Amino acid sequence: MTITRTAFERIYRSEQDAKTRERMLLVLNVAYHGMVAAHVAIDLHRCKAWASNWLKRYDEEGIGGLRDRPKSGRHSQMSEQTECKIKAILKESSQGWTTKQVEELIVKVSGKHYHHIHIYRILRRWGFKQKVPRKVHVNTATREEKNDFKKRPPRYLWVSNCKRKALQ
Convert the pLDDT of each residue in 119-144 to its tens digit: 989 998 888 888 777 777 767 788 88
Reduced to 3 states, what is the DSSP secondary structure of residue 102?
Answer: helix
- How many Cβ atoms are within 10 Å of 138's Cβ, its own excluded? 5
Rounded Cα distance, 19 and 25, in Å: 10
Rounded Cα distance, 106 and 86, in Å: 7
- How many Cβ atoms are within 10 Å of 58's Cβ, its own excluded? 19
The 10s digit of each residue's pLDDT in 13-53 is: 999 999 999 999 999 999 999 999 999 999 999 999 999 99
Tell me, rounded to whole angstroms, the distance of Cα 3 from its chain centroid. 35
